[in-house]
Amino acid sequence: MAHPVVHFEIAGVDGERSVAFYRDAFGWEIQGAACNAEEGGISGGVMQTRDDIPCYVVTYPSTDDREGSLRRAGSWVARPSCCLWRSLGFGFFSISRDPSGNIIGLWRE
């Protein structure tokens, strides 16, 4: 896979219940909101949304060319991407949408 998924986020209206679900159903080790990768998996987060944000699931494919990736993704969707890249201390990301309107993130270390 040229741009593998390297991070995910799952956000729901009841963060504690979401964490409990993924721990119980799949045995995920979640500390706070952080879900650390085990062998063959990817790290991510399970958290509560804010009142003004609906529930969501985001996958973050990796990219070395953020501008090119955003341009190619933007050619597929009617509404523009949110091109805000934020440093998380270990990488940068941007949020966009796929042709169906699903949220997708782009990740660069």
Tens of pLDDT along 43-73?
899 999 988 888 889 888 888 887 787 777 7
Between 99 and 48, whose confidence is greater? Answer: 48
Closest among 5, 3, 1, 8 to 63, alpha carbons compared:
3
* pTM (2 d.p.): 0.75
Please list the residue range(s) of the chain that carry CATH number 3.10.180.10.
65-109
Q: Does domain 65-109 have CATH number 3.30.70.240?
A: no
pLDDT band at residue 81, thresholds of 50, 70 and 90? low
User: Which segment of 38-42, 63-67, 87-91 scores lowest on mean pLDDT?
Assistant: 87-91
DSSP SS3 for 18: helix
Residue 21 tokens read as 């679900």
